[in-house]
Structure 1
Amino acid sequence: MITFFSPGQYVRHTKQPDWGLGQVQSAVADRITVNFEHAGKQLIIGGLELVVVSEREIVESRAQDTKGN
């Protein structure tokens, strides 16, 4: 399945869960630049490892971060 990413979408990297939540900065052809919470800006080629995060997951992730501080 081919997923198209657009700037502003939130994603997770399935093989790097410790990177946390990421926001797509740009998507040109098969090159997706994502800014991750715990890994900074990363260039992902192909995007097969990325999954789009639902709004509910975003809220839950932010709530956990708030509790941790």
Structure 2
Amino acid sequence: MSDMNSLLQPGMLVRHPTREDWGLGQVQSNIGGRITVNFEHVGKVVIDAAHVDLVPVFDA
């Protein structure tokens, strides 16, 4: 898990770096390198933090 992914907590807003079409996502959980995110356009997705570095959004 990247350092940034390890800091993600429930309620934080993120974007997927290669799936702009998924829209803004809200972190639901971050347990053992598996991050569950509820994205605007695709719903709930479980992200493997070893393969994807989510991008935090602070100005949404």
TM-score by length of 2: 0.84
C-alpha distance in 1, partners of 2:17/2:53?
Answer: 5
Match of 1:44 among 42, 47, 51: 47
- Bigger Rg, structure 1 or 2: 1
C-alpha distance in 2, partners of 1:29/1:15?
Answer: 22
Structure 2: unaligned runs, 5 residues or longer: none
Report which structure shows greater RCO (CA 8 Å, sep ≥6): 2
Structure 1: unaligned runs, 5 residues or longer: 59-69
Give me the CA root mean square deviation: 1.3
Match runs of 1:1-69 below 5 Å: 1-3=2-4, 4-46=7-49, 48-54=52-58, 56=59, 58=60
Tell me by how many angstroms 1:29 deviates.
Answer: 1.6
Structure 1 segments of 4+ aligned residues over 4 angstroms from their partners:
none
TM-score by length of 1: 0.74
Tell me by how many angstroms 1:49 deviates.
Answer: 2.9
C-alpha distance in 1, partners of 2:12/2:57?
Answer: 8
